[in-house]
Structure 1
Amino acid sequence: MRSGAPTPDLSGLNHKPAGLHGQIRPKDGELEFEDGTPIRFWGVNLQAYALFHTRPASIELHAQRLARLGVNLVRIHHHDSHWVQPNVFGAEATDTRTLDPASMRKLDAWIAALKAQGIYIWLDLHVGRQFTPEDGIAGFDEIAEDTGLADIRGFNYVSPSIEQRMLEFQNAYLRHRNARTGLTYAEDPAVVAVMLTNENDLTHHFGNGLLPNKNVPLHSKLYMALSDQFARDNGFDPNATWRSWEHGPSKIFLSDLERRFNERLIPAVRDTGFKGLISTTSLWGGMTIAGLPSLTLGSIIDTHSYGSGGETGYDPRIQSGFLDWIAVAQVAGQPLSVSEWNIAEYPTEDRFIAPLRVATRAAHQGWDAMMIYGYSQQPLNGPLQPSNWSMAEDPGVIWMMPAAALLFREGHVRRAEKTYAICLDEDTFFGQPVSPHTSIGIRTIAEQSRLVTCMPDTPALPWLEPTELNDALYQPLDLDHSYLAGDATVVAADTGEFQRDFSTAQFKVDTGKSQIVAGRFQGGAVTTTDVVFEVATPMAAIAVQSLDSKDIAGSGRILISISGRTVPVGSDEPRFQIEPVEGFLRITAPAGLSPRPLRSNQTLPPDAHRFERGVHVIDLGKINDARWLYLE
């Protein structure tokens, strides 16, 4: 799966260059450009060593490859992390207050190459930056780790000196002028989004680090004073308000503490001339909906979610899947991005199913920007070590990425017919741990209908705009009610376009332009409207999709994508054991079409395909292990 290896070419879906339609903007909970062009983003993360160690020629090749794969958004990530050397501050920098010119030239090259291919850019303003003693941080010694460096997550919400260093960085980063485009990052319409700080919240993860027993006296003193003042101003019990691990008043206070920080950084971003989307941070790592309020201060809500192997077989009445955690982050009336998703363990045998399920659910729910973590965090100059953080050469995942991109970006799956809303009062919203883990209602509705979360009327948070819904368009969600019958083994979309049989661990999409079966095959053929999948291999995914905007039955150009189980030969070897996918496809489509491999010098044996009674029959065992075919 090298950068030059043949792939389906979906690059025609992209606007070239990126930025052609002007600045991005949110509108009615969705995204469009300033000329009114609507947009959905199917993206990847590009991170760490891939940013700074990839050679110029390889940068160009991979930008082209990403466009062919259907990608139109890249998130630049781990640019500032200390474990990446060099990073944006250079190699082993003694402080983190100066951008390294050589590193910035690398980022310039990536951004220019991606922009030319119609791929938009998401920039993070803080990820893994480790502060040094030379950065001028008050109370540095009490937050420094054994390495002599400091992870400032959580502390930034109370420390003026940390905040100042972050302001300085975002100002320098966004005002940096790209030598290749002639534009600053802030003024380039191809840069559509920035995130203030990655995975950095007080309401769930880092609030506890400020408590009096954490041996950070300067920061604890600041925290306790702010908590006491907030409690007195709002009539809360001061002894409850500072207790960050408890639900109730503390979650309201912590939301407000996050708000104060965000309201100082957001105007500074705008002062650089940046007109795109701003994400404050993400809902991530098991957070409840109480972590959402301060995220609404941005122009897009962001979330991260990582799944597990075997989720196609999860019974939603019993356990949550990673897509359910994304669903609760959809705040009514605001666009939603997922800047990180993947299957956490590696290599799970069924990881090839994830892109299809993500794309299908995203289209059905109306999510706006999906970014797998990641395309690569290794240098992209040669073979990669197998890793789920570097899927650029993972055949199991790559083989289904174009199919997922096509389905999502071209709207092959319709928006849900019904929308359910989590609309709770202040006491329940902040006082109980509401999440897919605790709610059978969330788990059983999120795959059937659209789900949104409302913001409650909260007098102590006058900046938090309560959600007002049209009752005719939304149904209230009962958190404790199962929306799936007790004897059900299938959960299906309210549109009838896709379903998941969790008793057999099989996922199926059946629309006019995309017909897909993924998961376990057992018990005979699986039929969709225009395709019969007779698969002998125990586990696989096959997607049959129209490429010419016609339904499959009338299409003159069809893409067939095939994937299955792949296992790395070794952790350090760039080779995979690949299970053959065998059986037959029977596709109802116009006469005169023939299957064609992507390699121009490759042909199929005559008996690999026949046309009989209006049906194209393809013998999967005779296509020379091709994983993509055109039927045209």
Structure 2
Amino acid sequence: MIASTGGAETRADIWPRERVLPYSPIPDLSFLNEKPAGLRGRVRAQGAELVFADGTPARFWGANLQAYALFSTRPANIRAQAKRIAALGFNLIRIHHHDSHWVTPNVFGTNAPETTRLDPQSLDILDQWISALKDEGVYVWLDLHVGRRVTAADGIEDFDEITDAEGHADIHGYNYVSGSIRERMLEFQKAYMSHVNPFTGMAYRDDPAIIAVLISNENDLTHHFGNALLPDKNVPAHNALYMAVADAFAARHGLDREQIWRSWEFGAPKIFLNDMEQRFHAAMMEDLRQGGFEGLIATTNSWGNMSIAGLPSLSEGSLIDMHSYGGPGELDIDPLRQADMLSWVAAGQVADMPLSISEWNVSPFPAEDRFVSPLRVATSAAHQGWDAPMIYGYAQQPLNQALEPSNWDAASDPAMLAMLPAAALLYRRAHVQPARETYALRLTPAQLFAGISPENSVAIRTLYEQSRLVVELPQVPELGWLAPRRAAEGALVVTNPETAYLPHGAGFVESDTGEFRRDFARGLFTVDTARTQLAAGRLEGGEVQLSDIVVNMKAPMAAVAVQSLDGQPINGSEKILISIAGRLQPVEDGRSVYLREPLQGQLHIRAADGLRLRQLDGKTQPHDTENGVYMIDLSYLSGEQWLMLER
């Protein structure tokens, strides 16, 4: 049996088999969290930053906890998993797919005939999760609508137009025109946010550990669901409502009523769709505020390769929320030619607003280089000043036993797990500096609604890995509610999104701080700072020398990160975390068993004298020392993902 990737071949039958257990040893980064969550009061937006009530800057490294993991994890395991989540370095969990029809039970119970009643048993489980996470210093993000499918018993007007063969209806898009759907959504958020958690003694709306809510997940008109309301979609009542709003908007602003409703076109239709979204979200946000919620509110998300034409309505929330998914080979993407997953995030950074990423990942599973993505997300987030990246997800399966290999269950994927603590430490301890320069994409209203995105803007693609990139929002006459957003004084203005900021034929892109570099010609990512030094990607291309480490490996795809845990530079630290990842493939029977590619090579670290190399269980590992350099033969690690070099 031969496993072949990128031209390199390895005999898979000599790869060791590794079973992933629910509580296999991991580094303990829980010291990064203040306990309990909410200790410093409410998190609020302050310009482009998130801060606590006492003025302390807030930075969140998070994950999704979704679907069956929410409602089918046994109570004893909820507490244990909350501790494990904190140990991995997370301080934010998004509660997701709580209402989705395919999850049984969900927040409405098991096979509920209607969706207007919250199930007490399901709420009890959510209460336990929130309490356990709070105790471990982990904050919570709540979604208000994700995958709810209404039923005939829910009292939805013109329900027969949108029902499916099973008697349910997806409300995405229709909520913007249907008064009865909006009422059901308002009723849900009132009941959900006013629910008192008996384990914390606080209603969700009052708990400072619950920092944010999302009104509706992946539910925009500007790029996705506006088309569901068109005349040819066989929804005459909903289309009539849509057309009436479009006609009124056109008349009010002197626009062409024969064009304005054409949702698939850029220009004036996108202005109209932004206005429709804003009016709905304004009502939902007013209800949340009147109900007493003082936390952050995200309206919906920029997702599915949306252009910046969708940003105006999103800017009405407390922060812009992004979703971005990449694929295998992200390190190889030439930004002069193609967009990568993080360029889509960068295109959503509105000037003077915080930015969250409530979903990121790479697919399809199992991408051989998936362990590189946490390192790149954390590095760009620190460099750009993004506020809350969240991997999708920590777990989707019940957390009671070993999980089947899955893209949505990082909790049991040894490849992702290997680098998640390293990424958390890098990001939360600010081991990577903010960019020195800020570039502001300054567009006219006509340009803003013309469909600009990383797909067609080489400026976006080539700038974000070098310097901070923000998108300014101009004043738009038809959108009286839109607050113009300008970059801070000193920003370098970009007016032509087709301008390249890398020389033709370049083979790498490097940050303006000099701290990280992506060599896309080789497929190698490096970070070189005082407290984090790492190399990830195709390490077989030759020795990688950084300030205090040298990586010399023969690996088609691997990563090595060396980090100070005591706040000192690596070369003077007395507590160093070493994270190691190589290619892992799950066996074909769906069990939590992986084949691990053996790693061969040397890691040299210049550090303080007298340190010892240990596994997480305390067992000493062999190594040599010469002239203050620790020389580690990676061939003898037997699959260890983490080592400690400490006094």
Give the TM-score, by structure 2 length.
0.96
**1:521 Cα offset (Å):** 1.4
**1:471 Cα offset (Å):** 4.6
Residue pair 1:534, 1:585 contacting (<8 A) in 2 also: yes
Instruction: Give the Cα separation in 1 of the matches to 2:364 and 2:569.
Output: 37
Q: Structure 1: which 4+ aligned runs deviate by more than 6 Å?
A: none
1:259 corresponds to 2:278: yes
Of 398, 401, 414 in structure 2, the residue corresponding to residue 395 of structure 1 is 414
Q: Deviations over 1:359-403 (max 9, x none)?
A: 001000000001000011100000111111111110000010000
Of 150, 170, 174 in structure 2, the residue corresponding to residue 131 of structure 1 is 150
1:615 corresponds to 2:633: no
**1:470 Cα offset (Å):** 4.2
User: In the alignment, residue 215 of structure 2 is paired with which amino acid?
Assistant: L
Segments of structure 2 that go 5 or more residues without pairing to the other structure are 1-19
Q: Deviations over 1:309-332 (max 9, x none)?
A: 001011111110000000011110
Q: Deviations over 1:55-89 (max 9, x none)?
A: 01111111000100000000000000010011000
User: In the alignment, residue 629 of structure 1 is paired with which amino acid?
Assistant: L
Instruction: Give the Cα separation in 1 of the matches to 2:213 and 2:508.
Output: 39
Q: Deviations over 1:514-558 (max 9, x none)?
A: 000000013321000000001122210000000011110111110
For residue 61 of structure 2, give the secondary structure of its aligned residue in structure 1. Answer: strand
1:326 corresponds to 2:326: no
Residue pair 1:122, 1:193 contacting (<8 A) in 2 also: yes
User: In the alignment, residue 201 of structure 2 is paired with which amino acid?
Assistant: G
1:8-157 equivalent positions in 2, closer than 5 A: 8-157=27-176
Q: Deviations over 1:430-476 (max 9, x none)?
A: 1x110000111111111111111111210000110112344523332
User: In the alignment, residue 38 of structure 1 is paired with which amino acid?
Assistant: P
Of 570, 578, 588 in structure 1, the residue corresponding to residue 606 of structure 2 is 588
Instruction: Give the Cα separation in 1 of the matches to 2:23 and 2:236.
Output: 56
**1:344 Cα offset (Å):** 2.3
Of 601, 606, 620 in structure 2, the residue corresponding to residue 603 of structure 1 is 620
User: In the alignment, residue 284 of structure 2 is paired with which amino acid?
Assistant: L
Matched residue, 1:551: 569
User: In the alignment, residue 360 of structure 1 is paired with which amino acid?
Assistant: T
Instruction: Give the Cα separation in 1 of the matches to 2:247 and 2:513.
Output: 51
Of 291, 302, 321 in structure 1, the residue corresponding to residue 321 of structure 2 is 302
Matched residue, 2:269: 250
1:91-490 equivalent positions in 2, closer than 5 A: 91-430=110-449, 432-476=450-494, 478-490=496-508
Matched residue, 1:629: 643
Q: Deviations over 1:260-313 (max 9, x none)?
A: 101100011112221110000000001100111111111111010000100101
For residue 83 of structure 1, give the secondary structure of its aligned residue in structure 2. Answer: coil
Instruction: Give the Cα separation in 2 of the matches to 1:475 and 1:231.
Output: 33
1:504 corresponds to 2:522: yes
Of 577, 589, 592 in structure 1, the residue corresponding to residue 595 of structure 2 is 577
Instruction: Give the Cα separation in 2 of the matches to 1:220 and 1:614.
Output: 73
Residue pair 1:546, 1:558 contacting (<8 A) in 2 also: yes
Q: Deviations over 1:146-181 (max 9, x none)?
A: 221100100000110000000000000000010111
Instruction: Give the Cα separation in 2 of the matches to 1:609 and 1:469.
Output: 51
**1:571 Cα offset (Å):** 5.2
**1:19 Cα offset (Å):** 0.3
Residue pair 1:24, 1:189 contacting (<8 A) in 2 also: yes
Instruction: Give the Cα separation in 2 of the matches to 1:598 and 1:553.
Output: 21
Instruction: Give the Cα separation in 1 of the matches to 2:178 and 2:332.
Output: 46
Residue pair 2:78, 2:132 contacting (<8 A) in 1 also: yes
Instruction: Give the Cα separation in 1 of the matches to 2:209 and 2:635.
Output: 44
Q: Closer, same or farther in 2 for the Cα pair 1:482/1:571, shift >3 Å?
A: farther
For residue 268 of structure 1, give the secondary structure of its aligned residue in structure 2. Answer: helix
Instruction: Give the Cα separation in 2 of the matches to 1:603 and 1:4.
Output: 21
User: In the alignment, residue 21 of structure 1 is paired with which amino acid?
Assistant: R
For residue 629 of structure 1, give the secondary structure of its aligned residue in structure 2. Answer: strand
Give the TM-score, by structure 1 length.
0.98
1:491-530 equivalent positions in 2, closer than 5 A: 491-530=509-548
User: In the alignment, residue 87 of structure 1 is paired with which amino acid?
Assistant: N
Instruction: Give the Cα separation in 2 of the matches to 1:301 and 1:505.
Output: 31
Instruction: Give the Cα separation in 1 of the matches to 2:220 and 2:407.
Output: 25
Cα root mean square deviation, aligned: 1.0
Q: How many aligned residue pairs are there?
A: 627
- Identity, % of aligned positions: 55
For residue 239 of structure 1, give the secondary structure of its aligned residue in structure 2. Answer: coil
User: In the alignment, residue 570 of structure 1 is paired with which amino acid?
Assistant: E
Q: Closer, same or farther in 2 for the Cα pair 1:405/1:93, shift >3 Å?
A: same
Instruction: Give the Cα separation in 1 of the matches to 2:163 and 2:137.
Output: 42
**1:625 Cα offset (Å):** 2.2
**1:564 Cα offset (Å):** 1.0
Residue pair 1:363, 1:415 contacting (<8 A) in 2 also: yes
Instruction: Give the Cα separation in 1 of the matches to 2:517 and 2:392.
Output: 26
Residue pair 1:279, 1:300 contacting (<8 A) in 2 also: yes
Q: Deviations over 1:116-173 (max 9, x none)?
A: 0000000000000000000000010001112211001000001100000000000000
